[in-house]
Homo-oligomer: A and B are copies of this chain.
Amino acid sequence: MFPYPHRHLLAIEGLEPPYIADLLDLAENYALLNRQGKTQRDLLKGRTLINLFFEDSTRTRTSFELAGKRLGADIVNMSVSTSSVNKGETLLDTASTLNAMKTDLLVIRHGQSGAPALLAQKLDAAVINAGDGTHEHPTQALLDALTIRRRKGTLEGLTVAICGDVLHSRVARSNIHLLLAMNCRVRIVGPPTLIPAEAAALGVEVHHSMKTGLADADVVMMLRLQKERMTNGLVPSAREFFRFYGLDAEKLAHAKPDSIVMHPGPMNRGVEIDSAIADDPVRSVIGEQVEMGVAVRMAVLDVLARGLRRNA
């Protein structure tokens, strides 16, 4: 799909299926190079990549940092506590600073939905959303899709059950958009308190029971349960949650015998997923998700860098 139609990667919603497929193909190629220990250091040579994290995330930051290093970029990590940046104007001042420093690629995680899009309007750099509020986390959805495609051969026609705290999950939101775009049948499964009101309008099936939600599913995607959900009354207790919505062998038996199990990490073992399932060498693809994470981020950096003018 040349030339690529997007300067930034802010959300999955609205991306063209052929563009998504191109990103996945390119990422698959990087996954192969990574396994062979090969790098492509000339691709981003002389490019400045800034990791701007307003929320802590060692895992995602590290994944982007490795992706950028393997492509030869100069990488600077900027960790900022949100407390010091609590005004909209200040975020725009940050944009102006990043422009003046000749940033080429900006990876941003921010607690407020829409912050990356706001920055993208003001920045010369290509902006990659690494998670914004409860909005989207597009590279997570891409790495999930790549992992599924490698295991199932295709995304087309698969039944995917996304389970747990869908309401607060940007991971779920990005996955729903991507999987629907690629013609999956998407179900969301969880207690009524954790299912967004607009769910049905998105074109997904809503289930409140793991039994019906997982029935004949090809993919079971568990979400992380934030601890604070238990203290604010949305979930009675970790034990109760596990009993009804935690993935164990009994519940997984409702899915297809060759179904795969996913989790974006970090896991709360014994809360949303049983350890035996998480560590199942055949069904669990959790490690492969992390591996594909680096590959997908390399593909995204590569594609967006092609859209940058060499000399601003």
A96–B275 touching, CB < 8 Å? no
A265:B97 contact, CB within 8 angstroms: yes
* In the complex, chain B residues whose CB is within 8 Å of the CB of A293: 100-101
Chain copies in complex: 3
B37 A96 Cβ-Cβ under 8 A? no
Q: Among the listed stretches A180-188, A206-214, A282-290, which one makes contact with chain B, having 4 or more residues with CB under 8 Å of it? A: A282-290
Complex Cα gap A269–B99 (Å): 19
Q: Which listed residue, B48, B80, B90, B290, touches A97 by the CB 8 Å rule?
A: B290
**Which of B69, B80, B101 is in CB contact (< 8 Å) with A63?**
B101
- Are B269's CB and A101's CB within 8 A? no
> Would A76 and B65 be within 8 Å (CB), given that A46-B37, A290-B100, A312-B35 are in contact?
yes
Name the residue among A62, A70, A87, A286 with the largest chain B CB count within 10 angstroms: A62
| Residues of A64-101 contacting chain B, CB below 8 A | 65-66, 69-70, 74, 76, 78-80, 87, 89-90, 93, 96-97, 99-101
Q: Give the CA-CA distance A62 to B75 in the complex, in Å.
A: 10
Q: Is the CB of A90 within 8 A of B266?
A: yes
Assess the A102–B59 pair: CB atoms within 8 A.
Answer: no
Complex-state Cα separation, A237 to B173, whole angstroms: 44
Q: How far is the CA of A265 from the CA of B97 in the complex (A)?
A: 9
Residues of B within 8 A of A46 (CB): 37-39
Checking B38, B50, B287 against A99 with a beta-carbon cut-off of 8 angstroms, the contacting residue is B287
A residues 256-276 in Cβ contact with B at 8 Å: 265-267, 269, 275
Inter-chain CA distance A99–B35, complex, in Å, is 11
Q: How far is the CB of A10 from the nearest CB of chain B, in Å?
A: 23
- CB neighbours (8 Å) of A267 from chain B are 93
User: Is A311 in contact with B74, judged by CB distance below 8 angstroms?
Assistant: no
> Hey, which chain B residues are within 8 Å of A87, CB to CB?
269
Q: How far is the CA of A251 from the CA of B170 in the complex (A)?
A: 47
Total interface residues on A, using CB and 8 Å?
A: 48
Interface centre among A78, A79, A102 (most CB of B within 10 A): A102
Residues of B with C-beta under 8 A to A231: none
Give 1 or 0 for each of A280-301: 1 = CB within 8 Å of chain B CB. 0000001111110110000000
A–B complex contacts, Cβ < 8 Å, 21 sampled: A37-B46, A37-B311, A37-B312, A48-B69, A58-B79, A59-B97, A62-B76, A62-B78, A65-B76, A66-B76, A66-B101, A69-B76, A87-B269, A93-B266, A96-B286, A96-B287, A97-B265, A97-B287, A99-B287, A100-B287, A101-B293
With A37-B311, A70-B74 already in contact, 4 other A-B pairs whose C-beta atoms are closer than 8 Å: A48-B69, A58-B79, A87-B269, A100-B293
- Top 5 A-B pairs, shortest CB-CB distance: A100-B290, A100-B291, A37-B311, A69-B74, A100-B287
